[in-house]
Structure 1
Amino acid sequence: MFGHKMRPGANWKLIFQTICMAFLSPGGSVGKHSGTPLASQTGEAGDVPCRAFLLAFGHQVVDEALARRVRAAQIGAIARLTPFSILANVASAIAATPVFLQFVPTSYVVAWLIAIGGFLAYTTHQWFGATRAPIETASRRSLSRAVRHATILSALWSLLPLAAFALGDSTGIWIASAVTTAMICGGAFTLATVPQAAFRWVAILYLSSLVALTLHSSASTWPLFFLLTSYTVVVIGSVASTGWLFASHFVAEAELDERGELIALLMNEFEEKDSDWTWEADSKGNLRNVSERFLHASGRTRLELHAMRMIDLAYSLDEADARTAVAELEMMTGRQEAFRDIVIGVDVNGEARWWSLAARPVFDEQGAFSGYRGVASDITESRRASALVTHLAEHDSLTGIGNRSWFLRRAEMLLERQKQAGRSTLTLFLIDLDNFKVVNDTSGHPAGDELLKQVASRFAELGKGGTALARFGGDEFAVLGQFVSEEAAGAFAQELIRAARKPFRIGLRDFAVGATIGFARFRDKRDAIDDLLRKADIALYKAKEGGRGRALAFECEMEREVRERRELEADLREAFEAGGLNVDFQPIVDARSGRVISSEVLVRWLHPTRGEIPPATFIPIAEHAGLIQPLGSWILRKACAAAAQCPELESVAVNLSAVQFMDPNLVDQILSVLAETGFPPERLVLEITEAIFTRDFRSAADKLEKLRDLGIQIALDDFGTGYSSLSYLRQFKFDKIKIDESFVAEIGERSDSLAIISAIIALAHNLGLEVTAEGVERQFQVDALRTLGCDTMQGYYFGKPDANPMKIVRIRKEDWDGRAPSTAPRKSASLKSAS
């Protein structure tokens, strides 16, 4: 916040003394009691964090005007919480009184209540008086009154634990402990902006609690003593931190005001001084009549300047920009013409200075040229400021490397050179960091910013000045370089990936991320930089699609796939809006009776030219295009409306995609559909996959809990194909699991498939879950699954899906029992449901 940090290790003595003084003598001077001057303890007078910490505790470390403002703000913060504090005290007194009347004399309780009530009434009166006009300044006496107020009220409340532990029963002790704990925490945080008052409050209640524990001493009181002490230390630390942060705002604001005044003063002083000077030259160009200002600006003696020309001064700085100006100055003086705003570079005592020159030729009475007379101005600072502004406009403020606009300008320039030279070595890389969001989520944005800096440093080191590196935003980087072949470019991309894989040390932790890269080479002379960017982006997308942590070069086939994908996306939008999608119901039969008891909803898309497109193809497109939410709601509504007309079906199963499940309004949308269609939630089964847990574990768990509370059943689909299904079965309550069809298809082909299916069924039954086998297409598969104890089965063996659920429930066991294997198609996997 201030460019400084409060370092407890470096200032522990000052912090400890200040906190101790707040307990013993609120408002007393640390330096006075320690014998060490305050300035020496805080390091420098301008040590903002230390001054803010001391100011929070009422020490006079700033001017009186600022101190009075801070005190007023501290007291005002307490005043804003006073009504709530009064209500809390009244509620606590009401709760404690009936209990304590059982073992404390009534007269004592009444006296205590009168004292509490009277003090709260006085506090209320004071609060009303303070609200009439805002508190703008406050004296140290105001803080002392706050400390006294906290002392008196905490002393009254300290009687509770003493009376309870000395005279009361277990109920009284419990009530007193609860009230005292609440008072310690609530009062401390209410008074946190005035740490002295908060500490006095905590100290009295803590000491009274210790005495009470001593009166009721037993083996069971030691844990209470430990907990009481631990919580008190935490409260003290929190109060100290809160008070410091509160005062830091005012100290920082005052420091900024002081800096603003200083800058204004310096600017005024600068404007009063003339930064320009006149100069003259004779007909040969030699300087003459040199002023004192000229001497100071040039860093040379008068004799040296009289022996030089302005051109000689311009030659003194060996820089490319200076050389350009020298040629212009020589041309204008050779023609004896007037000139202005010619900027030359001059070496002044080893420092590069920049002068702006303006002059007009001088002629004598006969009209002969006799020299120049002009004005020079030192514009070094403005030039540096301009260069800084240009740098900031072209570079990323966090990492210091180029930004997107600079990169694109640089790329256009290099691409133009490539076209003129007839070369094709230019290669553009797009880099996306992997797992960067995890760093931000677990360690905060400062850690993420530091990681980006280190990544940029590693990438820049690999380029070694031969490549252009930029940050496009977030965790995206771009590199532009020249490579003799695609293999060389690929090798460089692998170096970038290896650099990103190495752990990054941030603070005391190591972070492992990684990078995925797509790159494209300049091959077509018609390509512009936007074309290279588009191709590299396509390659990056394909690299992510195939698995992160790798590099992929652009190929023409990728562009065709992207074009087809975009065409499919447009067709899908049109089909959805025009009602070109259909919903079918696939029967799920009871393995024992053969009766159709449930159905899974299948979404079908019959494309007018491409034919039937499986959900595995168009559902990812819908997710990427943002269509999955309306499409999923439509499927659910259609399924519930149709199933509501078919009471013979015990349930209907609808798949939810991972993207759809992450919608924060998912539960409300499902409730709306159920209410609209009149479909009972107990008959709805939602099928999900493990992918939902990898996106947002906590959110997924909350939604599953809410859905199950509504009576909706949850099925874990494609069980056995993920890497952590067992852990999810332990952590979440499912109703069903579905064995993936890949295991069912291998029955009779691989012996281990039966073993896996048997283990899954046994595991599910031990957990009280129902098991459904998908993709059943053969009689021997039915027999094997029955033998292994599978509960329900689905597949083309039991009949084709139908848009009318009434038709599928008419399928009976005799319709398919003993059916020949050839009657069931082998490629039912292409029709697997998704939504």
Structure 2
Amino acid sequence: MGLNANWKLILRTVCMAFLSPGSHGKNRDWQLLSRHDESSCRDSTRAFLLAFGYPVVEELLARRVRAAQIAGIARLTPFVVVANIINAAVVAPIFLRFLPVSYVVIWLFAIAFLLCVTTFKWLRAKRAPIELASRRSLSKAVQHATMLSFLWAVVPIAAFANGDTTGMWIASCVTTAMICGGGFALATVPQAAFRWVAILFIASTVTLAIHGNVFMWPLFFLLVSFTLVVIGSVTSTGWLFASHFLAEAELKQRGELIALLLNEFEEKASDWIWESDAKGFLRNVSGRFLHASGRSRQDLSALRMVDLAYSLNDSDARMAVAELESAIGTREAFRGIVIGVDVKGEERWWSLAARPVVDAKGSFAGYRGVASDITEARRASALVSHLAEHDSLTGIGNRSWFLKQSEMLLEEQGRSEQSTLTLFLIDLDNFKVVNDTSGHPAGDELLRQVARRFTELGEGRTMLARFGGDEFAAFGRFVSDQSASAFAEELVNVTRKPFRIGRRDFAIGATVGFARLGDANDTIDDLMRKADIALYKAKEGGRGLALAFECEMEREVRERRALESDLREAFEYGKLNVEFQPIVDSRSGKVVSSEVLVRWLHPTRGEVPPATFIPIAEHTGLILPLGNWVLRKACAAAAQCPELESVAVNLSSVQFMDPNLVEHIMAILAETGFPPERLVLEITESVFLQDFGSASRKLETLRGHGIRIALDDFGTGYSSLSYLRQYKFDKIKIDKSFVDEIGERSDGLAIISAVIALAHNLGLEVTAEGVERQLQVDALRTLGCDTMQGYYFGKPEASPVKITQIKKEDWEDRTPSTAPRNPPASRSTDLQPDSIEDLKVDRI
């Protein structure tokens, strides 16, 4: 505590020590000081107030401090008594010359009485030292000092009042000595010291005032300076005394707390303290150690910690013994050494930490340390490691474990210079159907049964792992391509057998792609990439297949990835175009609508058909921004052509699954100002296969905004009629494959007639795609088809205005030869009447 920070507190405390020492519990000033201390919360402030008797600590500690303060005075009591006797012997003869004998005798008697009382108390305290002192005891010390100081205050007053020169000088010397000596002797109790100094100072000041000599002023200033020095010294001494006592008390309390915690630690904690002598034998064995080791005290006293570590026959435990022996042999501190101990036939694991102990001569005397039982933690860690490397559902390895084990096998085979390793990647077919129809518990049980079948099949030949979902992998040695291919076929066949889950049987199947280690420099990542390529090609081939990797597959993948990159670049830099295919009214011949097509003219590949790049866009996730871009361009252009009653835009099944599809469409319509009633969205039944749950809701929402929905490629799916009954459509489009059969197959015309009749009965509009000949036009008009589209009516144009300028006279007198049929693939799609599927956005 610095003087600058707390000078008000110091002055107030000192002043109260002069005025009312010992009455801190009730007076108002103490309450102010108490609040000041509580707000400051500093140990130095607490020590200062404690020195002056303020109860700023708990009562027990305060009583100990008071006892120590009184003991500090008592230690100097013999010297104080002797000094008082000498001073009295010096003063008495001088005072007898100018004072009555009776006065001097009374004075001597009073001093002798107080000295006797002081000596008696000192002797009693010496026989039975005081450890605790109350406030009353401290007040008595202050009172004793006050009475003795009053007796010595008589000396200067009597001497100066009688004007005896010798008496005045003797009195001045004695008073000065008594102020200094008494102040320092009583310094441990500042209240008593201040009372002593204050009384003698006041008496001296009175005597100087009585004398009235101008030459007494220097003595007064000397008296003031001595008094201030004594007061400052007493304050500092008392303060330091209390500070040291508080520090010692805190250290003692901490020591007691540490001892208590150690006892508690030994009795209740899972850890325990162990000690050994210089030879390593255990000593001072605690009860906790006995319980943990499962041995008697006598047995442990004859063992070393290394002997305990030898008791467990385990490879990890044997390695720990060598580490422990090495650490102890260096006689240095160690920690974290885990040893295994056999405790009554049970495997236990201890973690050891210790420091070397030296004796009084500085020689090594053994170790003292802490041991803790970490068996449960080790078991938990082993379980965590197992869970981290194994699939929690099926119990087989996971991807991380599989890759680690595969790398080890590759390194081992690299040393043997063989190439028998084969990696299999397995995807289950129709697994999603099980989850969707029977729930995830059924799907989990199916995965467990699949894992069991794969494990039994590959036992002794491969290691198996589940990568996640319905993806599995196997890795093993196969001496030939034929044996590897046979195992892949077995993987496929074993999944074709029905799986019994509850009361139902499920048939799923699997697709396998595998790669043989052909190059010694191949890594596991290389094998994974090749097997993944083979799996992808097997899926393209119709699933339920096992396909080996071939170099040609990698070339195709590289080309596909290059095309993906080019497509992304073309989209980002605006190299894609939108064109409009006219749709005409069958009766009037007027262009009433248009289907939006996307064109991509590649700088080196030429015209890339949508049938090629649209699946790539779906696979890479580019289909969503591309679809929004096409819709925005179509709506913006069609908004400038009011002659078109509507414009049709294809939606990809991937685009339809976007949960924000409706919001995106409405935002584009609002942005372009295109009326929702003029927009037709074309979808295929693949939408319902991939998004069964929310398809109906989305269609109803779109139709609620006025947008019309057309079912494209009608008649080519598996269950188109059920979709017509289940969902609300405004229009259906007859696929080009049926239109091509007009004039060639009678059943084709019958199917078209039935579709048109069915649609009209349901209140749906019918559009025929791929019309290229006059014969097709006449037949469709005769059957009552509402609208038609195809190259017969003109090529797609970049502007919808141009297609509205086509007149009926331009095409109604055409002969079949004027509409090209089955053009060669090498010609530009801009010039050939190719399939409508190759020109439109194909589900965008």
State TM-score, norm by structure 2.
0.57
Q: How many Å separate the matches in 2 of 1:274 and 1:376?
A: 6
Q: Given that residues 277 and 376 in structure 1 are in contact (C-alpha distance below 8 angstroms), is that contact kept between their aligned partners in structure 2?
A: yes
**Contact kept? 1:277, 1:377, Cα under 8 Å:** no
Question: Match of 2:820, as an amino acid?
Answer: A
Q: Structure 1's 286 and 426: CA in aligned 2 closer, same or farther, altered over 3 A? A: farther
Contact 2:512 2:538 in 1 (8 A): yes
Q: 1:630 aligns with which of 599, 613, 625?
A: 625
Report 1:466-481 matches (<5 A): 466-481=461-476
CA distance in 2, matches of 1:577, 1:357: 64
- Root-mean-square deviation (Å): 4.4
Distance 1:755 1:427, change over 3 A: same
Kindly indicate whether residue 751 of structure 2 is the aligned counterpart of residue 736 of structure 1: no
User: Bigger shift: 612-621 or 380-389?
Assistant: 380-389
Counterpart code for 1:533: M
Q: Where does residue 493 of structure 1 map in the other structure?
A: 488
Offset of residue 575 of structure 1: 1.6
Structure 2 residue 773 is the aligned partner of structure 1 residue 765: no
1:543 positional shift:
3.2
1:448 to 1:277, Cα distance in 2 relative to 1, 3 A: farther
Q: CA deviation at 1:686?
A: 1.4
Aligned to 1:148: none
In the other structure, the counterpart of 1:261 is: none
Q: Pick from 613, 635, 638 the counterpart of residue 640 of structure 1.
A: 635
Alignment correspondent of 1:411: 406
| 1:29-428 map, 5 Å | 272=269, 321=316, 351-352=346-347, 380-428=375-423
How many residue pairs end up in the alignment? 561
Contact 1:433 1:516 in 2 (8 A): yes
- What are the superposed Cα offsets for residues 303-337 of structure 1, whole Å, 9 maximum, x if unpaired? 9999999999989876555666788899999x999
CA distance in 2, matches of 1:508, 1:581: 54
Aligned equivalents of 1:638, 1:377: Cα separation in 2:
73
Question: Structure 1 CA distance, aligned partners of 2:779 and 2:760?
Answer: 17
Q: Structure 1 residues 571 and 622, CA, compared in 2 at 3 Å: closer, same or farther? A: same
- Say whether residues 1:482 and 2:490 are aligned partners: no
The equivalent position to 1:819 in structure 2, one of 815, 820, 828, is 815
Contact kept? 2:273, 2:369, Cα under 8 Å: no
The structural deviation recorded for 1:552 is 3.1
Structure 1 counterpart of 2:689 = 694
Q: CA deviation at 1:751?
A: 3.8
Matching residue of 1:727: 722
1:717 is displaced (CA, Å) by 0.7
Aligned to 1:681: 676
- Confirm or deny that 1:540 pairs with 2:532: no
SS at match of 1:640: helix
1:731: Cα distance to partner? 1.3
Partner secondary structure for residue 711 of structure 2: strand
Q: Is 1:577 aligned with 2:572?
A: yes
Q: For structure 1, list consecutive stretches of 5 or more residues without a partner in the other structure.
A: 1-266, 362-370
Instruction: Report the TM-score when normalising by structure 1.
Output: 0.58
> Counterpart of 2:754 in structure 1: which amino acid?
A
Which residue in the other structure is 2:713 paired with? 718
- 1:705 matched to 2:700? The reply is yes
Per the alignment, in what secondary structure is the counterpart of residue 601 of structure 1?
Answer: strand
1:463 counterpart residue number: 458
Structure 2 unaligned regions, length at least 5: 1-263, 357-365, 824-833
Give the drift of 1:674.
Answer: 2.7
**1:831 has 2:839 as partner:** yes
Letter in 1 for 2:415: Q
- Please say if residues 581 and 597 of structure 2, whose CA atoms lie closer than 8 Å, have aligned partners that are also in contact: yes
Partner amino acid, structure 2, of 1:686: L
Instruction: Specify whether residues 806 and 603 from structure 1 end up closer, same or farther in structure 2 by C-alpha distance, changes over 3 A only.
Output: same
> Secondary structure of the equivalent of 2:759?
helix
1:359 Cα shift?
Answer: 12
Please tell me the residue identity of whatever aligns with 1:471: R
Q: Which moves more between the two structures, 308-317 or 605-614?
A: 308-317
SS of 2:749 mapped into structure 1: helix
Please give the residue correspondences for 1:537-686 in structure 2 after superposition, counting only pairs within 5 Å: 537-686=532-681
Of residues 565-574 and 388-397 in structure 1, the stretch that sits farther from structure 2 once superposed is 388-397
Identity of aligned residues (%): 76
The answer (yes or no) to whether the contact 2:462–2:476 under 8 Å persists in 1 is yes
Partner of 2:776: 781
Per the alignment, in what secondary structure is the counterpart of residue 598 of structure 1?
A: strand
For 2:793 and 2:367, the matched residues in 1 are separated by: 105
1-structure distance, mates of 2:721, 2:548: 38
Residue type of the alignment partner of 1:594? G
Q: 1:575–1:306: structure 2 CA closer, same or farther, 3 Å change rule?
A: closer
Q: 1:531-585 deviations in whole A, cap 9, x for unaligned?
A: 2222233333333344344433333223222222222222222222222111111
Counterpart amino acid of 1:421?
S
Q: Distance in 2 between matches of 1:706 and 1:291?
A: 78
* Cα separation, 2, equivalents of 1:467 and 1:623: 36
Matched to 1:818, the amino acid is R
In 2, the alpha carbon distance for the partners of 1:637 and 1:576 equals 14
CA offsets per residue over residues 560-618 of structure 1, 9 Å max, x none? 22222222222222222222111111122233343322221111111111100111111
- Partner-residue secondary structure (3-state), 2:596: strand
Deviations, residues 407-446 of structure 1 (Å, cap 9, x unaligned): 2221211111122222222222333344444555555545
- Cα 1:594–1:484 shift into 2, 3 Å: same
The 8 Å contact of residues 738 and 772 in structure 1, kept in 2 or not, is answered as: yes
- Distance in 2, Cα, partners of 1:511 & 1:325: 53
Conservation of the 8 A alpha-carbon contact between 2:275 and 2:284? no
Distance 1:507 1:539 in 2: 35
Contact 1:278 1:376 in 2 (8 A): no
Indicate conservation of the 8 Å contact 2:791/2:819, yes or no: no
Q: Quote the Cα distance in structure 1 between the aligned partners of 2:810 and 2:577.
A: 26
Matched to 1:831, the amino acid is: L
